[in-house]
C-alpha cells in the first residue's frame, strides 16, 4: 500500500502538466468566460450500497446538468468524473470458534476464488456506475483500489488533486439509525479536498 502513496508526483491519472494548469485555474479568481470553464475534478466513491449509487445519481443530475446534447457534441464541455471502488483485502486466515484453536490458513484455491469473486463484484459495480454516467453523457474513468476504503479514498483524492469528493452517507456498515456512516465520517474529517455527502431521499430512510 505504501509504495503507491509516495509523493504527489506519482499521480494515478493523466500527466503532470495538465494537473498543474488545473491548479492555476483554481487560484485565479476572475469570473471565467463561458468557453474556458473551470473543469472540476470530481471523484465519486461507489460500493455495493444503494446509497453510493444514489450519490452518483445525485452528482450526475445536479453537478453536470449543463450536458445538453448540443454541448456534448463539443467534447470540451463534457465533464469527467472518476469512479473509485475500494476492495477490502481478503483475510487469508480464519480463526475457528473452539478453544485452543490455531489459525487455519485458507487454501490457495479458496483465496483464488474469493479474489475472483471480488474482482467480478468490482467489475459489476463499476460497470453499473459507468452505465449511469454514459446515460448522462458524462465521461468517467474508473479506479479500483485495494485496502481500507476510508484511507484509500482519502489518499486517492490527494494524489489525483480531486476538487470534490462525493460519498454516500451510509456504506456497508449499515446502522439504520445513523445518518452518517463511519466511512463517510472519516472521509469528511481526513480528506484534504471539499467533500459532498449525499443523503438518501427522505422516503428511503424509514426509521
Residues contributing to the site for other proteins (CB under 8 A) = 8, 23, 26, 29, 31-32, 34, 37-38, 40, 58, 62-63, 65-66, 163-164, 178-180, 184-185, 188-189, 191-199, 202
CB 199 → other proteins: shortest distance, Å? 6
Q: 86, 55, 75, 46: which is closest to 138 by C-alpha?
A: 75
- Residue (14 or 178) nearer to other proteins, CB: 178
- What SS3 class is residue 5? helix
- Residue (125 or 197) nearer to other proteins, CB: 197
CB 198 → other proteins: shortest distance, Å? 5
- Residue (51 or 149) nearer to other proteins, CB: 51
- Residue (84 or 164) nearer to other proteins, CB: 164
CB 103 → other proteins: shortest distance, Å? 38
- Residue (83 or 197) nearer to other proteins, CB: 197
**Where do runs of H (alpha helix) occur along the chain?**
16-27, 50-62, 69-73, 108-135, 149-159, 182-190
Cα 206 to chain centroid, rounded? 26
CB 163 → other proteins: shortest distance, Å? 7
- Residue (63 or 84) nearer to other proteins, CB: 63
Rounded Cα distance between 114 and 90, Å, is 8
Rounded Cα distance between 68 and 35, Å, is 15
CB 79 → other proteins: shortest distance, Å? 10
Rounded Cα distance between 64 and 68, Å, is 9
Nine-digit cell string for 193: 479536498
CB 107 → other proteins: shortest distance, Å? 43
Contact at 8 Å (CB) between 83 and 143? Answer: yes
Instruction: List all residues 6 or more positions away from 15 whose beta carbon is below 8 Å from its beta carbon.
Output: none
Amino acid at each position: 500500500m505504501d509504495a503507491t502513496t509516495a509523493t504527489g508526483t506519482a499521480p494515478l491519472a493523466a500527466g503532470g502538466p495538465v494537473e498543474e494548469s488545473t491548479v492555476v485555474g483554481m487560484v485565479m479568481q476572475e469570473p471565467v468566460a463561458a468557453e474556458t470553464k473551470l473543469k472540476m475534478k470530481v471523484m465519486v466513491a461507489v460500493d455495493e450500497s444503494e446509497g453510493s449509487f444514489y450519490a452518483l445519481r445525485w452528482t450526475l443530475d445536479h453537478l453536470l446538468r449543463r450536458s445538453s446534447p448540443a454541448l456534448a457534441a463539443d467534447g470540451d464541455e463534457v465533464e469527467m468524473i472518476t469512479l473509485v471502488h475500494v476492495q477490502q483485502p481478503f483475510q487469508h486466515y480464519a480463526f475457528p470458534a473452539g478453544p485452543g484453536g490455531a489459525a487455519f490458513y485458507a487454501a490457495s484455491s479458496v483465496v483464488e476464488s474469493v479474489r475472483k469473486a471480488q474482482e467480478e463484484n468490482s467489475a459489476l459495480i463499476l460497470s453499473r456506475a459507468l452505465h449511469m454516467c454514459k446515460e448522462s453523457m458524462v465521461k468517467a474513468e474508473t479506479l479500483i483500489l485495494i485496502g481500507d476504503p476510508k484511507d484509500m479514498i482519502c489518499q486517492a483524492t490527494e494524489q489525483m488533486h480531486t476538487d470534490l469528493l462525493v460519498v454516500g452517507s451510509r456504506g456497508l456498515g449499515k446502522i439504520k439509525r445513523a445518518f452518517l456512516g463511519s466511512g463517510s465520517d472519516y472521509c469528511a474529517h481526513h480528506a484534504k479536498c471539499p467533500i459532498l455527502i449525499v443523503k438518501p431521499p427522505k422516503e428511503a430512510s424509514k426509521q
